[in-house]
Amino acid sequence: MRAAWLFPSALMVVWILLAPGEAAAQKLPEGNSCVECHRGLGDPRVTPPADKFPQDVHLAKGILCQDCHGGDPSNFDPQGAMSRTKGFIGMPKHQAIPQLCGKCHSNATYMKKFNPTIRVDQVQEYYTSVHGKLLREADQKVATCINCHSVHNIRAIKDQQAWTYPAKVVDTCGRCHGDPNYMKGYKVATDVVGKYKKSVHYEALTKKGDLSAPTCNICHGNHGATPPGLDSVANVCGTCHGLTAEYFGQSPHKKAFAAMGLAPCVTCHSNHDVEKPSDAMVGSDDKAVCVNCHDGKSKGYQSAAGIRASLDELRGAVQRAGAILEQAEKAGMEVSLAKFELRGASDNLLKTRAAVHRFDAEVVKNLSDDGVQTAKKMYAKGEQALKDLRFRHRGLWISVGIILVAIAGLVLKIREIDRRQREG
Amino acid sequence: MRPASSALAGMFRKLNAWLDERIDLTGMRELIRHKVVPVHRHTIWYYFGGMTLFLFGIQVCTGILLLLYYRPSAEEAFESVQFIMTEVQFGWLIRSIHSWSANVMIATLMIHLFSVYFLRAYRKPRELTWVSGMLLFGLSLTFGFSGYLLPWNELAYFATKVGTDVAGQVPLVGHFMTRLLRGGDDVTGATLSRFYGIHVGILPLFTTGILGLHLFLVQKQGMSVPPEIEQGGRPVPTMPFVPNFLLRDLVGWLSALAVLGALAAYFPWELGVKADPFAPAPAGIRPEWYFMYMFQTLKYLPAKIGPIDGEMVGVLGFGLGGLFLFLVPFLDRKTARGEESPLFFWIGVGVVTYIMVLSLLGYMTPGGK
């Protein structure tokens, strides 16, 4: 058996060892003077483009050096290959990069050849971003296309090694935004990367592998990256947390926050370091965020206490029902139907938690009561299952008792018959 | 006033006389009077045949009760078993006893089979009794395999998928057999209907006939005495079947009933989650314990043995093994001549050891359920 496993395992190891390091690497074109010279010169100042290019998505689509840089790749004379008359532009200036990429990426007719649904407004959007605006002001440090997408080894965003792959975006942005020295001179906090990495969003993205969890570009935009204004924060969060945003829009806090100049959502939940929300955040005790604004005499304080009481009641009821059903199931009772029905109460708890953002104790209580009723019914089913279990055990021992008496009677009868037959 | 027992005895006598007037019971009375069971150091093994028959009776009774509520379709099977377990009065008891009894029955059947093998009771004139017994063993395994799918839960669904895939390895007719068993290319509601039909219709029909033949042969030929005792020179003592042996049988049956009750009350047969044909197979899919040694063997076999698929070699091997056991009375010439037969003894030891070791390895392999 071991031998049977060893052979395929050894083959697998050999295959892995022999496999090329870059699985997606492609072959560079033959007879191309750009490739031949840049690769052949051996000077680290000029070889990186040729070294990196095999991983580039453009190569895969047949787009070569001259398509961006101009020149004549069929000419092996450096003067001729890099002739301005052949459109050679050399290394484009920082400020010219968006326009250079946009030559193709903003051309809908051209881009449709590769993907009929591809966006072509990235450059236009870029100039609405803080990055684009600063670039127009000739800022040489600000990010352009290549700072986020890399250069010469640009990968498709679905490629897990791409700088723009969701799980890698924070590090891509963080290369500038997490570097206090680089960001000196800009009025932007550089602790945001560290804070984000502590957030529930980052945990969902990297630990749970949920690629829909937000990273920098989901809230700030990508090509049009900009910090959301106070009035648009709720809309940003609401793109994912739709029901919560709807409740907040109907709540008294909407007007109050606007009047006080407080940003919705982030005032209670923070922005980059959003922690996993808990029921403890609402209420009238010290851990609740409500008491940051509402004092003990206010209506809001009473309302917060009421909301918390409803949440606690429902959560407790769901937990108790879940525990008793679990206990019954472990004892071998069939309670899967009740467990399924309890999911209704758990859904109610989720809805109630969203409804907290309506900040109306009565609305929350109505929703919570439905769940509490369901949970109580399921608790009763769990109790009944345990009662049935005790009945079964009692019934078993009574039956075993009767059977033992019958067996004893039979044994006595057998002995009597054997004795009679021996004697007679 | 007459005691109740004598009143009952009187009623019984009247009924007996009434029946005797209409159907002559003399033959049956004679059979009961003269039927004896040999008493020797291996007499204990005789009880396992009766025990298997008793457990089969339990299967029939509980199976009929389950039929009253069970609905054989992919949409309703799981829910109907769930209903039996939760809503039907004592449904949990009936279903758990049916499942537990099936397993205990296969165990006692295997003990009965191998005790008959080692006591060489298959020798002349009992070749047909052995052959009918082997057929009953095959039918019981088919009962187990077909019944396993009926609750339509995840484990049963994927185990049936694996099991019917194995049938596909039979040379020449494998693909046809898999399609025949499944009622199509995959395990679907059609497979469930088919297995249900096999479980409650076809198998009981064949089992009734062959069991009848088996019991008739046992009555006709009486209990076999092991050759070494038979050839001992001294007459083998006997005990009357009625009431001595029957009462002892009853003690065993009542004990089995108590054990089944305890298993049902303390370890009710699990229902699991409903089968989802679109879900990936859960980790650790395993067949019932009595198929485990075959399953484990197939796992150990390499993909190819020479030019032949490893699984096909395994299936062929088990087929030939079954055929060998089936034909043992005709192959073991030494026993037929009344001589010692060490080769067949050691083959038997090898088979039992193989089954036990491979089954144990199957349960010790990590990641299984």
Q: Give B29-42 pLDDT, tens digit per residue.
A: 888 888 999 999 99
Q: Is the pLDDT of residue B191 over 50?
A: yes
Q: Is the pLDDT of residue B220 over 60?
A: yes
* Domains, in order of start, for chain B: 37-278 (1.20.810.10)
Distance from CA of A400 to the nearest CA of B (A): 6
Chain B residue numbers touching A398 (CB-CB < 8 A): none
pLDDT for residue B164 is more than 90 = yes
- Residue B366: pLDDT band by 50, 70, 90 thresholds? low
Residues 6+ apart with CB under 8 A from A176: A141, A143, A147, A182, A183
Q: What is the pLDDT of residue B2?
A: 56
Give, in order, the Cα–Cα distances in Å from B227 to each of B119, B224, B330, B338: 8, 9, 17, 7
- Half-sphere exposure (CA, 13 Å, Cβ side) for B170? 14
A407 touches chain B (CB under 8 A): yes
Nearest in space to B274 (alpha carbons), one of B192, B366, B162? B192
Residue B169 neighbours by CB under 8 Å, 6+ apart = B309, B311, B312, B314, B315
- pLDDT band for position B18 (cuts 50, 70, 90): very high
In whole angstroms, what is the distance from residue A353 CA to residue A307 CA? 9
- Least CB–CB distance from A414: residue in B92, B244, B258: B244
Take residue A321 and report the two structure tokens written for it. Answer: 């029902």
Residues of chain B with Cβ-Cβ distance to A404 below 8 Å are: 258
CB contact under 8 A, A332 and B251: no
Q: What's at B168, amino acid-wise?
A: G
- Mean pLDDT in residue range B288-305: 92
- Cβ of A417 under 8 Å from any chain B Cβ? yes
| A11 touching chain B per CB within 8 A | no
Taking only residues 283 to 342 of chain A, the set having a beta carbon closer than 8 angstroms to any beta carbon of chain B reads 332-337
Rounded mean pLDDT of B116-129? 95
The answer on pLDDT for A14 being more than 70 is no
What is residue A22's predicted lDDT score, i.e. its pLDDT? 43
pTM of the model: 0.71
What pLDDT does A234 receive? 75
Residues 6+ apart with CB under 8 A from B245: B37, B46, B239
Closest to B86 (Cβ–Cβ): which among A334, A407, A413?
A334
Q: Is B302 touching A (CB cutoff 8 A)?
A: yes
- Nearest residue to B147 (alpha-carbon basis) of B216, B211, B55, B77: B77
Residues B91/B287, Cβ–Cβ less than 8 Å: no
Q: Which of A209-218, A233-242, B82-91 has the lowest mean pLDDT?
A: A233-242
Q: What pLDDT shows up at residue A13?
A: 46
Tell me: pLDDT of A1 over 50: no
Whether B198 has a pLDDT exceeding 80, the answer reads yes
**Residue B330 to chain A, least CA–CA distance (Å):** 35
A6: confidence class by pLDDT, cuts 50, 70, 90: very low
DSSP character string of B105-134? HHHHHHHHHHHHHHTTTTSTT-HHHHHHHH
Q: Residue B226: is its pLDDT beyond 80?
A: yes
Using the predicted structure, report yes or no on whether residue A16 has a pLDDT greater than 80.
Answer: no
Residue A332 and residue B247: Cβ atoms within 8 Å? Answer: no
pLDDT of residue B156: 92
User: Mean of the pLDDT values across residues A175-186?
Assistant: 93
| B96-108 confidence digits (pLDDT tens) | 999 999 999 999 9
For chain B, say whether A1 makes contact (Cβ under 8 Å).
yes
Q: What is the pLDDT of residue A230?
A: 62
Structure tokens at A283: 């209420």
Asked whether the predicted pLDDT for residue B346 surpasses 80, the reply is yes
Decide if B267 and A332 are in contact by the 8 Å CB cutoff: yes
Lowest pLDDT segment from A182-186, B141-145, B351-355: A182-186
Q: Which residues contact B201 (CB under 8 A, 6 or more apart)?
A: none
Mean pLDDT of A214-237: 84
- List pLDDT tens digits, range A358-403: 999 999 999 999 999 999 999 999 999 999 999 999 999 999 999 9
Quote the minimal CA–CA distance from A204 to chain B in Å.
24
- What pLDDT sits at residue A24? 53
Contact by Cβ (8 Å): A232, A224: no
How high is the mean pLDDT of chain A?
A: 90
pLDDT digits (tens, 9 = 90+) for A64-88: 999 999 999 999 998 999 999 999 9
Structure tokens at B312: 């096909």
pLDDT (tens digit per residue) in A100-136? 999 999 999 999 999 988 899 999 999 999 999 999 9
Range scoring the smallest mean pLDDT among A91-100, B100-109, B168-177, B252-261 = B168-177
Residue B106 — left, alpha, or beta (φ > 0 → left; ψ -120 to 50 → alpha)? alpha
Q: Which residue of A6, A329, A333, A334 to mutate against B (max B Cβ within 10 Å)?
A: A334
Cβ B257–A403 below 8 Å, yes or no?
yes
- Nearest by CB: A392 against B251, B255, B265: B265
Per-residue pLDDT, averaged over A87-92, amounts to 92
